[in-house]
Amino acid sequence: MRTAILSGLGAVAAAGVIAMACTQAVGTDACKQIEQARCYWIEQCFADAGPTYGLPVSPSNGMSPVDECFRYYDDACGHGLVTNVQPTSDEVNACVKAINAATDCTIVQAPETSDACAFLTYDAGTDADASDDGE
pLDDT tens digit sequence for 97-121:
999 999 988 898 899 999 999 999 8
Give yes or no for residue 132 having a pLDDT over 70: no
Per-residue confidence band for 48, with pLDDT thresholds at 50, 70 and 90: low
Query: Can you give the pTM of this predicted structure?
Result: 0.68
Return the higher-pLDDT residue of 8 and 104.
104
Dihedral angle at the C-alpha atoms of 102, 107, 108, 110, nearest 10 degrees? 180
Mean pLDDT of 52-76: 71
Return the higher-pLDDT residue of 11 and 70.
70
What CA–CA distances, in Å, run from 126 to 22, 36, 82, 132? 19, 27, 13, 12
What crossing angle do the helices spanning 28-39 and 89-100 adopt, rounded to 10°?
10
What CA–CA distances, in Å, run from 96 to 2, 51, 123? 24, 27, 21
7 vs 104: CA distance, rounded Å: 20
